[in-house]
Amino acid sequence: MTSVLLITFFVVCVVYGTVFSLPCLTNKSKQDFNKARNALKSLENYLKSQANSIKYKVQALDKDMTLMEEDFKRRQWIKYNTHCYYIGDDSVKWTDAERKCREIGGYLVKIDDSSENSWIKQQISKSSKKTYFWLGSTDVVNGDWRWIYDQTQLSYKHFNSGRPFPTSNSYSYTYNCVMMHYSNGIWYDYPCNYVIPYVCESNFCFQ
């Protein structure tokens, strides 16, 4: 932005120098020159205002990131590999669990393999609320189970009996969200309005 202002200043200087080196100016030339000078002045003021606006936006963003980092550290996030996890102790519906995870800088957990699943099972078994916990998968299109974080299909599954209810089962139309049991790490599809704790995941760790 500073370089643009310098170029603008240089152009103004050239215009002034060129004009005053002429032997005389007609009234029309003077009017054109004044218009050009005013236009350049307006451009300079606009660029200055934009620079200030960008500065304030950067400062506001930096403040938001600092507050997020402080909030992140204050919560009991647990690091595993390169990600962090938060075990929500309050019991809510699946949609509220996803919203709460987003509000604290994460998302409802996405489980990629058996090692991650076993580790999460160990963490939720330590919770004061030993029960089921929401995971971040749902089938908006019946039978098409995906992770809410990135909308990818489940490459790893750990459902009871190896799979959720098949679409031929009448339960499959109302059992649309996935939860894990604290004792064995087994997944179950269940109605999304069921009220239980949840597990959040974040790609950013400040630990």
Task: Decide if 135 contacts 111 (C-beta within 8 A).
Answer: yes
The ranges assigned to domains in the chain are: 2-69, 75-202
Share of the chain above pLDDT 70, in %: 77
Global confidence as pTM: 0.64
β-partners of residue 78 are: 85
Q: How far apart are CA 107 and CA 185, in angstroms?
A: 19
Task: Decide if 118 contacts 137 (C-beta within 8 A).
Answer: no
Higher pLDDT, residue 180 or 205 = 180
**Tens of pLDDT along 95-141?**
999 999 999 999 999 999 999 999 999 999 998 889 999 999 999 88
At 161 the pLDDT is: 80
Q: Please provide the average confidence, as pLDDT, over all residues in the chain.
A: 82
**Tens of pLDDT along 16-63?**
454 444 445 577 676 777 878 788 888 888 887 887 778 767 776 665
Q: How far is CA 165 from CA 139, 152, 189, in A?
A: 11, 19, 7
**CATH of 75-202 given 3.30.420.10, 3.90.550.10, 3.50.50.60, 3.10.100.10:** 3.10.100.10
